[in-house]
Amino acid sequence: MEYLYMIQQALVWIITIFWIYQLVISVCSLVKLKEKPILEEKVNRFMAIIPAHNEENVIGPLVESLINQNYPKDYYDIYVIADNCTDRTAEIAEKAGAIVLNRFDEEHKTKGYALQWFLEQKIKEDAPYDAFCIFDADNIVDSNFLKAMNKKLCQGEDVVQGYRDIKNPTDSWVSAGYALFYWTMNRFYHLARYNVGLSPLINGTGFMVRFDVIKPDGWNTNTLTEDIEFSLKRIINGKKLGWATDAIVYDEQPVGFKQSWKQRTRWTVGHIQCLERYTKPLAAAVKEHKTMMNFDGLLYLIGSIPMFILTLVLLALNFVIYIANGMTAVDLLINCLRYFLPTFLLPIFTAILIMVLDKKPIRPMLKGLICYPLFLGSWLLINFKCLFKRDTSWDKIDHVRNVKINEVN
């Protein structure tokens, strides 16, 4: 029993130190830093790239929001990769003003392959662009997005994630859960790390990459979470990613729980793939470079599934120790509530704090706030499932919210 107590205390310390570290970093998001100096005044040329598979319902408003950017029209082009489409995606996108490239490859159907295929062509052409931005087909883009990203380029940034907002946060408790999660990540993860000189991560959509960055190796990602993979490769090589709060992109999230479960399962499997492939390289980078950025990247990677496993082990140990000490059922229930009640309430209070800081309306989100712990709790179940069964198939999320940019601003 003495050994069990020692293991229990060790796990408590490991988990506590991990979360204190996250809390300290998060507080840094409250600090407003001076803008980086402009290194070069330039109007950069952009590619706006949209991989799309059967997105006729939503592709039009996205292209329209890009056409209407507050940026010189001769300095950016909009490309839609119609990826194995069997609907009117290509027709609608072309009519809206995009350059459409049709791609048909039944074996390689994910977003990562589509980007690899497109960017390989542009590298071979030595296309005359300074940078590119990637969007999901269900997005709509704030009119100042390219202007904000151009400023980041002029400040010397190479890879920058924009502010990922939600265009349908009040559709259901599920879409509200996504909104609260992304709002929290935007401030307490990305902005906080950017403020202290660590590295944010690119987040699937609404990000910018300087074209020269990918010219040597192309867009070489093949996990289910190509955004995280690309970010980790940069961090391993000692390259920080940037953050732009004022480059805003609005994303459509699933409304139903079944679709959400499938999507988050894919993300979790992708994270496990990255965990298996990049833990050793990141640990080696920590040893070689001895920088907090590499260490923080390693903590991100091991902070989900491995930390989840350690927490499960701690809960199991507590249960065994309680039973061995002759604890009654009532005492056991009280101790369980002592663990789970703060776990239930903390996400709600954190989300409210984020909404106050970022001036988000709270009243329309009340149902989502109450259900937010259930949303996060279901993610823990997904993590548990993926420890034993990993589905690497890609199921398309149906996007139907045909929302224009003036409806969310």
Mean pLDDT of the chain: 90
Say whether pLDDT at 212 is over 90: yes
Task: Give the model's pLDDT for residue 110.
Answer: 78
Got the DSSP string for 96-136?
HT-EEEEE--SS--SHHHHHHHHHHHHHHHT-S-SEEEE--
Rounded distance, CA 379 to CA 162, Å? 24
Residue 391 has pLDDT above 80, yes or no: no
Model pLDDT, residue 312: 82
Among 109-118, 125-134, 306-315, 400-409, name the one with the lowest average pLDDT. 400-409
Per-residue pLDDT band for 324 (boundaries 50, 70, 90) equals confident
Task: Take residue 388 and report the two structure tokens written for it.
Answer: 């034993």
Residue 122: the pLDDT is 96
Indicate the helix (H) or strand (E) that contains 294: helix 292-302
Name which residue leads in pLDDT, 100 or 105: 100
pLDDT at residue number 12: 84
Q: How far apart are CA 382 and CA 268, in angstroms?
A: 7
Q: Which CATH architecture has domain 1-409?
A: Alpha-Beta Complex (3.90)
**CA distance between the termini of the chain:** 60
Backbone angles phi, psi at 86, to 5 degrees: -120, 10
Q: If you average pLDDT over residues 160-171, what whole number do you get?
A: 95
Q: What's the average model confidence in pLDDT over 83-96?
A: 94
Classify residue 31 by burial, with Cβ atoms within 10 Å: 0-12, 13-18, 19+.
exposed
Could you tell me if 160 and 246 are in contact, meaning their C-beta atoms sit under 8 angstroms apart? no
Select the more confidently predicted residue: 47 or 9.
Answer: 47
Locate the domains of the chain by residue range: 1-409
Higher pLDDT, 320 or 241: 241
Using the predicted structure, report yes or no on whether residue 409 has a pLDDT greater than 70.
no
Helix (H, G, I), strand (E, B) or coil at 4: helix
Structure-token pair, residue 198 = 């660590």
- Single pTM value for the model: 0.91
